[in-house]
């Protein structure tokens, strides 16, 4: 495509990102390779003023290792951009909600990936609850007695914080534990914070935690994350190993149903996580998985993502 566009990336500070292993930086490189003008936008750069969403747009040049070369900063209405890609890592907190509310008001022809309203409504832990026939036995509560009963019934459970990601602060508990009350009290912050508890799926040790990347309702690729020995966490940050995998008939059906609903909610790009043919999470805020799939299968999925963004921009220009 010969057209050149102005594309903004809302992301965390570059110095916090892992060069060579970050999906956002891969997208940025692909945009620059095509000649698009890329702007870096941090959370504090976004504001509302004089009746419209505004941003401090950072036009910065880096070398191949993202070392700073030169930069320019200017303030413009966000609708001056052809596209905005929201790539903020959780926590999913009030500031995140405020940002989506401002971004939702951009209007005009600017394409936003993913839709701010969809991001606000699609908590990565809670969104799967609407697909009750696909998920493991689950309870969401801050009631310690309910958690104790659930543990007794399930035998072994995983407890998750609702606003975190990438296996952070996951807790594995067995009904054999002698005194779980202090653990539940800490995790619920003395019954003031909701947590999610799910029955532990032991198949994670054999088939891993499968990540399926979807774009516009279609599967782009998938792989499996296998926990290291003596650990239940499959994320590479905790020693998990990425491996090729295949999807079963049931897993394909889960992806079909979930991706269809995601698309209806304005979530074009997402990661669907499954263990033992059970839906566990849906990554929408800052979907990853492109780089492992590229490495495992010799693909360049970033091209398909940016192709899609360009297509959406052109559709809006022609309106």
Largest CA distance in the chain: 66
Known catalytic residues are 125, 160, 211, 225, 233, 273, 281, 283
Q: For residue 31, is it left (φ>0), alpha (ψ between -120 and 50) or beta?
A: alpha
Interstrand relation of 6-11 and 83-87 (parallel, antiparallel or unpaired): parallel
Q: Do 102 and 24 meet the contact criterion of CB atoms below 8 Å apart? A: no
CA 208 to chain CA centroid, nearest Å: 19
**DSSP assignment letter at 170:** -
Q: How many CB atoms lie within 10 A of CB 61?
A: 11
Cβ-in-10-Å burial (0-12, 13-18, 19+) of 109 comes to: middle
Taking the CA atoms of residue 86, residue 26, residue 223 and residue 173 in that order, the dihedral angle to the nearest 10 degrees is -50
Helices (H), 125-248: 144-154, 181-187
Instruction: Specify burial of residue 217 (Cβ count, 10 A radius: 0-12, 13-18, 19+).
Output: middle
């Amino acid at each position: 495509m010969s057209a050149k566009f102005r594309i903004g990336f809302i992301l965390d500070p570059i110095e916090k990102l892992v060069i060579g292993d970050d999906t956002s930086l891969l997208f940025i490189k692909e945009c620059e390779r095509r000649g698009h003008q890329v702007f870096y936008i941090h959370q504090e750069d976004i504001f509302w003023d004089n009746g419209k969403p505004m941003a401090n747009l950072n036009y910065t040049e880096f070398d191949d290792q993202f070392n700073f070369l030169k930069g320019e900063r200017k303030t413009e209405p966000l609708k001056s951009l052809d596209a905005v890609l929201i790539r903020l890592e959780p926590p999913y907190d009030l500031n995140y909600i405020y940002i989506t509310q401002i971004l939702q008001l951009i209007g005009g022809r600017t394409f936003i990936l993913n839709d701010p309203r969809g991001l606000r409504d699609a908590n990565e832990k809670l969104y799967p609850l609407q697909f009750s026939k696909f998920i493991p036995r689950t309870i969401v509560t801050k009631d310690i007695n309910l958690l104790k009963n659930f543990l007794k019934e399930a035998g072994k459970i995983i407890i998750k914080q609702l606003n975190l990601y990438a296996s952070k602060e996951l807790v594995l508990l067995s009904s054999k534990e002698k005194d779980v009350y202090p653990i539940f009290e800490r995790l619920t912050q003395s019954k003031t914070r909701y947590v999610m508890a799910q029955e532990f799926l032991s198949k994670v040790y054999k088939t891993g935690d499968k990540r399926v990347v979807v774009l516009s309702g279609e599967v782009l690729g998938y792989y499996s994350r296998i926990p290291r020995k003596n650990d239940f966490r499959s994320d590479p940050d905790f020693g998990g190993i990425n491996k090729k995998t295949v999807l079963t008939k049931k897993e394909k059906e889960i992806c079909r149903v979930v991706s269809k609903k995601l698309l209806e909610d304005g979530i074009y790009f997402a990661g669907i996580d499954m263990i033992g043919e059970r839906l566990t999470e849906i990554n929408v805020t800052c979907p990853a998985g492109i780089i492992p799939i590229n490495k495992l299968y010799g693909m360049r999925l970033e091209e398909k993502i940016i192709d899609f963004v360009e297509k959406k921009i052109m559709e809006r220009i022609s309106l």
